[in-house]
């Protein structure tokens, strides 16, 4: 009545005061107003009084709430939508009583659609309606737009963001995200921080150039800027980079990739840096092909394309997604005729044109049809829309959406085809093949099950499979089957099934859940495999294994006894054998000192030889004890700085190093869990060996190097190709050795030179090998006669 009153006033002011004419104009105006409201693309509703009686609700609003006009309009709002009363009624009362509009964004409401509760999101305005009394509203105008899809898409995008971040941080490869043109470190995983030798709090939120000023004189900051500006991926292998950190400037050889990360508008917002450190003896190059396509993540939740068609002029406005669905690039602008030309000729008249004619009559546009891309590939689309008419029911515009449903159509066809193939294949198999519904009831079984059991199909459908199961196996079979159905996990059990002649045979029963597109279980597919013969064989094998185990226990006891005897021998060698040697040396020295003048030259020579032999004997006992100790010592590991271990050895050999004028250089050695005294023995033997076998006329030079190397690059049989190793190498410029003796030098009592040429017992390198093996490592030797020798220790890096 308020709008009618305003209309009458407008007509009166213009001198048109004929009552009949005024009535016609008022009626026509209101009718046009209501038609306009009913055809609006947003939901609109007018509520009256504190009971909020629905005076009017347009088609869009009725679609939103899934109600018919005759069961909604003219009734109190909460009689038609009782499920929203608790959280909507207080807002409506406040608007009606205060006259202040209420705006809501992404308001969550649970409404019933198709008889089921559904969580929805809306942007809405509750606007007070003033008519007779300008201070007290008589009703409320509701304008609502459903944004459920947008909210769900935004939530999906946020989940994708979190998954993307987790993908980076949990990756086994070194990765970092650099944001903006300033290249600010946003994310860096543990592998990258290890290369940088930094903690996350030292780099996060800071410019890369500020954290690593040494990069300013290198090419990497320039390359990053080029990638940021061009949006093109840059890759390089074995690039040299110098990174400063604890321990000073360090040189790396890196395989790396700089990949741009795009925003929805196509602009570059960040760069993902993927790095693989291949500094030490790289033989395997891994290519990183992972790029974070932010644009595709954003569009995963919005597969719909939108279009707006002017029916009178056939001018159409469409989203970029529609062009992609029809086989064009996203920025292509298509005409209505070009869209129709892409429809499959068989579907153009029979489906699309027919659906268009129906829409001009009913206002609802819907079809599923095939389209042909420019590459002649065939795709399926689904189009639906709504027609807007004028007052004379003349169609003016059509708004709608389009979606690519090729995958669904192909899946439907594949399902029909595969189901037929499945049944044909299953009936030809000797194994039992069956399917069950989500409750565990058998829905299909192949011919082999009927032939084996002697049951009819009707009997199995009625009684199920339990009558076939051995009574002793029924309870556990049922328990595990119920557990699998409840948890949705694979069912696997071995039980006995009764054959038609009454014999029970062992079968392995396995069932796997089949999931639908939404992740819910739709059915179970199972097989039962005859394992009777293998089960009997396994039982016999277990009996033999037990017998063999008892035999091995006897042998093990014998080994324990032998080890105890060896320990007693080591004790005797340590105390009882060395004591007579010390006395022989002592008395020989005293005779030479006191009876020197009374001895002939030959007698003196005999005494000197006796002392030299006893000294060699004593050294041999010491070396044998060291070798034995390396064999049986407790593996008590402790964290040790190998740089300090090396320094201790150099201090002990200081006089010899100084006497030979030797030069020893070394890299920074790692901190490791080791048996400290054994590692001192290891370093001692290797350095002493290098100082002993000196080339003629040369100043001894020993170079000690350290680094990491993959197991696949180690030329030794015991190397694990899937592990990473720490290596320590000792290289000298001594007399070297022939490579054919490479394995022989690590054996006990093996010498490549005579005792007169070089002193030694031939046990030192055998001790080295045993110590390295005690640390689960490997040792290798490389030599060239007259050039020098290199001994390389490989120690596994614990992950």
pLDDT in tens, 440-469: 788 777 777 878 888 887 887 777 778 888
Least confident of 61-75, 85-99, 289-303, 473-487: 289-303
Residues contacting 399, CB < 8 A, separation 6+: 41, 306, 307, 308, 309, 385, 386, 388
Query: Following DSSP, what letter does each residue of 441-485 receive, concatenated?
Result: -EEEE-HHHHHHH---HHHHHHH-SGGGB-HHHHHHHHHHHHHHH
**pLDDT at res. 690:** 87
Token pair of 411, please?
């899946």
User: Does the pLDDT value for residue 749 go beyond 70?
Assistant: no
**Cα–Cα distance measured from residue 750 to residue 764, given in angstroms and rounded to the nearest whole number:** 10
Extract the tokens encoding 293: 């396509």
Q: What is the pLDDT of residues 246-267, one digit of tens each?
A: 888 888 888 889 889 888 788 8
**pLDDT confidence of residue 303:** 72
Provide the pairing of β-strand 701-710 with 663-666: parallel
- CA 523 vs. chain centroid, Å, equals 28
Answer yes or no: is pLDDT of 8 > 50. Answer: no
Model confidence at 328: pLDDT above 70: yes
Give backbone dihedrals phi and psi of 341, rounded to 5 degrees, phi first.
Answer: -65, -25
Provide the pLDDT for residue 214: 87
- CA distances 386 to 87, 319, 366, 494, 713, Å, are 32, 17, 9, 59, 67
What are the beta bridge partners of residue 276?
A: 255
Q: How confident is the model at residue 793 (pLDDT cuts 50, 70, 90)?
A: very high
What's residue 757's pLDDT? Answer: 41
What is the structure's pLDDT at 777? 92
Contact 756, 747 (CB under 8 A): no
pLDDT at 754: 42
pLDDT at 290: 34
**How far apart (Å, rounded) are the C-alpha atoms in residues 654 and 664?**
11
Which of 143-157, 565-579, 779-793 is modeled with the greatest confidence? 779-793
Model confidence at 342, pLDDT cuts 50, 70, 90, reads very high
Tokens of 642: 């190998």
**pLDDT value at residue 795:** 93
- Cα angle, residue 43 at apex, residues 37 and 46 outer, rounded to 5°: 65
Q: Buried (b) or exposed (e) across 201-238, using 16+ Cβ within 10 A?
A: eebeebebeebbeebeeeebbebbeebbeeeeeeeeee
pLDDT (average), residues 773-791? 89
Average pLDDT along the chain: 79
pLDDT single digits (tens) 197-211 = 888 888 888 898 888
Q: Assign residue 759 a region: left if phi > 0, alpha if psi is -120 to 50, beta otherwise?
A: beta
Specify which residues 142 forms β-bridges with: 45, 126
Token pair, residue 117, equals 């509760």
Mean pLDDT check: name the lowest of 76-90, 316-330, 432-446, 491-505: 432-446
- Helix or strand (DSSP H, E) at 764: helix 764-774
Residue 557 sits at the vertex; the CA angle it makes with 555 and 560, to the nearest 5 degrees, is: 115
Pairing relationship of beta strands 432-436 and 521-530 according to DSSP bridges? antiparallel
- Tell me how far apart the alpha carbons of residues 179 and 201 are, in angstroms, rounded to a whole number: 16
- Two structure tokens written together for 775: 């640390």
DSSP state at residue 349? I
* CA dihedral of 222, 224, 225, 229, whole degrees rounded to 10: 140
From residue 453, how far is each of 88, 449, 450, 504, 796 by CA, in Å?
63, 6, 5, 10, 57
pLDDT tens digits, 11-54: 344 444 444 544 454 556 567 767 777 777 788 889 998 888 99
Q: Give the angle 201-207-212 at the CA atoms, nearest 5°.
A: 80
Whole-angstrom distance, CA of residue 126 vs CA of residue 107: 13
Q: How far apart are CA 216 and CA 248, in angstroms?
A: 17
Tokens of 722: 């899937």
User: Is the pLDDT reported for residue 150 higher than 90?
Assistant: no
Q: How far is 528 from 506, CA to CA, in rounded Å?
A: 10
**Structure-block tokens of residue 489:** 């996990």
* pLDDT for residue 747: 67
From CA 79, how far away is CA 53, in angstroms rounded? 9
CA 102 remoteness from chain centre: 46
DSSP state of 695: P
DSSP 172-199: SSEEEEEETTTTEEEEE-HHHHHHHT--
pLDDT at site 293: 37
Give how far Cα 572 sits from Cα of 371, 565, 569, 576, 580, Å. Answer: 94, 11, 5, 5, 12
Residue 701 pLDDT level (bands cut at 50, 70, 90): very high
What CA–CA distance (Å, rounded) separates 467 from 453? 10
pTM above 0.75, yes or no: no
- Per DSSP (E only), the strands in 486-619 are 491-498, 504-515, 521-530
Residue 725 pairs in a beta bridge with 709, 796
pLDDT at position 550: 80
**517's tokens:** 């597109």
Q: Which residue has the tokens 């044909």?
A: 424
Q: Tell me the average pLDDT across 285-312.
A: 56
> Which has the closest alpha carbon to 190: 181, 182, 200?
200
Q: What is the mean pLDDT of residues 606-627?
A: 62
Percent of the residues in the chain that have a pLDDT greater than 90, as a whole number: 18
Using alpha carbons, select from 783, 241, 550, 370 the residue that is nearest to residue 792.
783
pLDDT for the residue 233: 92
Distance (Å, whole) CA 176 – CA 203 = 11
Dihedrals phi, psi of 2, to nearest 5 degrees: -65, -45
Return the exposure string of 535-548: e unless at least 16 CB atoms fall within 10 Å of the residue's CB, then b.
eeeeeeeeeeeeee
Q: Where are the alpha helices (DSSP H) in 39-147?
A: 59-65, 69-72, 77-80, 85-98
Quickly count helices (H) and strands (E) in the chain: 27, 27
| pLDDT, position 169 | 64
Whole-angstrom CA distances from 410 to 301, 305, 377, 405, 519 are: 21, 21, 13, 9, 19
Q: Identify which of 527, 521, 530, 508 has the alpha carbon closest to the alpha carbon of residue 435.
A: 527
Asked if residue 283 has pLDDT above 50, the reply is no
Sign of CA dihedral 472, 473, 474, 478: positive
Comparison of pLDDT for 678 and 38, the residue scoring more: 678
**754 or 541: which carries more pLDDT confidence?**
541
Q: Which residue has the tokens 């300033």?
A: 182
Q: What is the mean pLDDT of residues 317-338?
A: 90
Mapped onto helix, strand or coil, the DSSP state of residue 45 is strand
**Alpha-carbon dihedral sign for residues 98, 101, 104, 110:** positive
| CB contact set of 787 (below 8 Å; sequence gap of 6+) | 733, 736
- What confidence tens digit (pLDDT) does each residue in 218-250 have? 888 898 889 889 889 999 888 888 888 888 888
Whether residue 330 is predicted with pLDDT greater than 60 in this model: the reply is yes
What is the torsional sign of CA 579, 582, 586, 591? positive
More confident residue, 552 or 302: 552
Q: CB under 8 Å, gap of 24 or more: what pairs does 101-107 form?
A: 101/125, 101/126, 101/127, 101/128, 102/126, 106/147, 106/151
Closest CA to 389 of 414, 365, 415, 413: 365
Q: Which of 702, 693, 694, 700 has the alpha carbon at shortest distance from 667?
A: 702
Q: What is 219-261 written as a DSSP string?
A: SHHHHHHHHHHH---EEEEEEEEEE--TTS-EEEEEEEEEEEE
Would you say 176 and 139 are in contact if contact means Cβ atoms under 8 Å apart? no
E strand or H helix at 216: none
Q: How far apart are CA 708 and CA 727, in angstroms?
A: 6
């Amino acid at each position: 009545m308020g709008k009618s009153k305003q209309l009458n006033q407008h007509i009166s002011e213009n001198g048109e005061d004929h009552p009949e004419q005024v009535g016609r104009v008022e009626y026509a105006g209101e009718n046009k107003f209501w038609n306009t409201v009913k055809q609006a693309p947003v939901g609109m509703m007018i509520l009256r009084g504190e009971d909020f009686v629905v005076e009017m609700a347009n088609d869009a609003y009725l679609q939103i709430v899934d109600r018919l006009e005759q069961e909604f309009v003219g009734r109190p709002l909460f009689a038609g939508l009782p499920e929203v009363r608790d959280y909507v009624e207080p807002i409506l009362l406040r608007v009606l009583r205060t006259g202040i509009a209420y705006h809501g964004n992404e308001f969550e409401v649970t409404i019933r659609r198709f008889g089921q509760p559904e969580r929805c999101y809306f942007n809405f305005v509750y606007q007070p309606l003033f008519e007779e009394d300008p201070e007290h509203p008589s009703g409320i105008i509701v304008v609502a737009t459903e944004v459920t899809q947008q909210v769900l898409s935004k939530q999906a995008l946020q989940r994708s963001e979190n998954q993307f971040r987790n993908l980076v941080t949990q990756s086994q490869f070194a990765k970092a995200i650099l944001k903006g043109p300033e290249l600010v470190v946003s994310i860096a995983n543990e592998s990258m921080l290890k290369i940088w030798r930094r903690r996350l709090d030292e780099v996060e939120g800071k410019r890369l150039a500020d954290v690593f000023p040494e990069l300013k004189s290198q090419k990497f900051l320039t390359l990053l800027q080029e990638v940021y500006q061009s949006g093109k991926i840059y890759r390089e292998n074995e690039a040299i980079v110098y990174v400063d950190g604890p321990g000073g400037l360090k040189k790396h050889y890196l395989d790396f990739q700089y990949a741009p990360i795009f925003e929805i508008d196509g602009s570059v917002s960040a760069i993902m840096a993927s790095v693989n450190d291949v500094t030490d003896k790289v033989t395997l190059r891994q290519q990183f092909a992972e790029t974070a396509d932010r644009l595709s993540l954003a569009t995963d939740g919005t597969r719909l394309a939108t279009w707006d068609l002017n029916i009178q002029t056939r001018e159409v406005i469409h989203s970029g997604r529609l062009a992609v669905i029809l086989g064009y690039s996203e920025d292509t602008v298509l005409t209505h005729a070009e869209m129709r030309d892409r429809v499959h000729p068989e579907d153009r008249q029979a489906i699309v044109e027919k659906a268009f004619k129906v829409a001009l009559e009913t206002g609802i546009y819907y079809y599923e049809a095939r389209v042909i891309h420019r590459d002649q590939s065939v795709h399926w689309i689904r189009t639906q829309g709504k027609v807007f008419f004028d007052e004379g029911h003349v169609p003016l515009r059509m708004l709608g959406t389009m979606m690519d449903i090729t995958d669904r159509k192909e899946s439907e066809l594949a399902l029909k085809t595969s189901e037929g193939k499945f049944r044909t294949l299953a009936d030809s198999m000797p194994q039992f093949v069956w399917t069950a519904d989500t409750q565990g009831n058998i829905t299909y079984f192949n011919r082999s099950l009927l032939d084996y059991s002697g049951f009819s199909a009707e009997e199995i459908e009625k009684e199920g499979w339990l009558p076939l199961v051995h009574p002793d196996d029924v309870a556990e079979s049922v328990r595990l089957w119920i557990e699998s159905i409840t948890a949705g996990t694979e069912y696997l059990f071995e039980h006995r099934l009764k054959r038609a002649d009454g014999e029970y045979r062992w079968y392995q029963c396995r069932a796997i859940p089949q999931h639908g597109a939404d992740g819910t279980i739709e059915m179970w597919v199972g097989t039962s495999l005859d394992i009777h013969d293998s089960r009997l064989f396994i039982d016999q094998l277990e009996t033999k294994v037990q017998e063999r185990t008892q035999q091995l226990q006897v042998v093990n006891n014998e080994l324990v006894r032998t080890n105890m005897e060896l320990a007693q021998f080591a004790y005797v060698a340590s105390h009882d054998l060395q004591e007579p040697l010390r006395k022989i040396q002592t008395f020989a020295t005293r005779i030479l000192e006191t009876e020197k003048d009374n001895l002939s030259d030959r007698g003196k020579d005999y005494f000197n030889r006796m002392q030299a032999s006893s000294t060699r004997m004593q050294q041999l006992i010491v070396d044998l004890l060291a070798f034995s100790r390396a064999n049986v010592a407790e593996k008590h590991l402790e964290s040790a700085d190998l740089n300090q271990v090396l320094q201790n050895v150099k201090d002990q050999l200081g006089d010899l190093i100084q006497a030979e004028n030797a030069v020893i250089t070394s890299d920074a050695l790692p901190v490791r869990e080791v048996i400290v005294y054994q590692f001192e023995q290891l370093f001692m033997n290797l350095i002493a060996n290098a100082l002993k076998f000196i080339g003629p006329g040369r100043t001894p030079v020993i170079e000690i190097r350290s680094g990491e190397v993959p197991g696949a690059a180690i030329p030794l049989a015991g190397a694990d190709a899937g592990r990473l190793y720490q290596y320590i190498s000792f290289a000298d410029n001594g007399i070297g050795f022939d490579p054919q003796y490479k394995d022989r030098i690590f054996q006990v009592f093996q010498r490549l030179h005579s005792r007169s040429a070089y002193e030694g017992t031939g046990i030192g390198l055998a001790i080295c090998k045993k110590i390295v093996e005690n640390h689960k490592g490997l040792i290798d030797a490389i030599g060239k006669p007259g050039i020098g020798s290199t001994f390389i220790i490989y120690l596994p890096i614990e992950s």
